[in-house]
Amino acid sequence: MWPFISRPKAFAIDFSDAALRVLEVRGTSRPLKINTSLKIGIPEGLIEDGLINDQKALADILVEKLHTAQPRPPSTKKVAAELPESQIFLHHFQLPKELSGEDLETALIQQVNQTMPIELENMAWDFQLLRSSDEGHNVLFAAAPAEIVEAYEHTLALAGLELVSLEPESLALIRSVIDAKTSSPEEMVLLIDMGGRSTSMIFVVNGEIHLSVSRSEGGNLLTERIAQKLDLTKAKAEDLKLSQGLKDNRLHPIVAEVFQPIKDEIAQASSYLQASMGKKPSKVLLAGGTAQLEGIDALLQEILGLPVGLAEPPLTIGGQKSLEWCAVSGVALRASTNLRGINFIEAA
pLDDT digits (tens, 9 = 90+) for 46-94: 999 899 999 999 999 999 999 999 999 999 999 999 999 889 999 989 8
Q: How far apart are CA 260 and CA 150, in angstroms?
A: 36
Q: Give pLDDT, residue 180.
A: 59
Residue % of the chain over a pLDDT of 90: 63
Phi-psi region of 346 (alpha: psi -120 to 50; beta: other; left: phi over 0): alpha
Confidence band (pLDDT; 50, 70, 90) for 120?
A: very high
Strands of the sheet containing 11-15, edge to edge, are 70-71, 33-41, 19-26, 11-15, 78-83, 162-168
Asked if residues 297 and 323 have their Cβ atoms less than 8 Å apart, the reply is no
What secondary structure does DSSP assign to 247-295, as a single string?
A: GSTTHHHHHHHHTHHHHHHHHHHHHHHHHHHS---SEEEEESGGGGSTT
pLDDT for 289 equals: 87
- DSSP symbol at 246: G
Calculate mean pLDDT across residues 113-117. Answer: 92
Give yes or no for residue 16 having a pLDDT over 70. Answer: yes
Contact indicator for 185, 213 with CB cutoff of 8 Å = no
State the chain's maximal CA–CA distance in angstroms: 64
The strand ranges marked E within 216-307 are 283-287
Which residues have a Cβ under 8 Å from the Cβ of 102 and sit 6 or more positions away?
A: none
Say how far residue 178 (Cα) sits from the centre of its chain.
Answer: 13
Given a cut of 80, whether residue 136 has pLDDT beyond it is yes
The reported pTM is 0.88
Instruction: Give the residue extent of every domain in the chain.
Output: 11-87+143-181+315-347, 221-256
Instruction: Taking residues 10-17, report their average pLDDT.
Output: 93
Tell me which DSSP letter residue 185 carries: T
| Rounded CA separation 64/91 (Å) | 39
**CATH topology for the 11-87+143-181+315-347 domain:** Nucleotidyltransferase; domain 5 (3.30.420)
Rounded to an integer, what is the distance from CA 61 to the centroid of its chain? 23
For 159, what's the count of Cα atoms within 13 Å in the CB-facing half-sphere? 28
Mean pLDDT of the chain: 89
Q: From CA 61, how far away is CA 66, in angstroms rounded?
A: 8
pLDDT at residue 4 in the model: 38
Taking residues 326-332, report their average pLDDT: 92
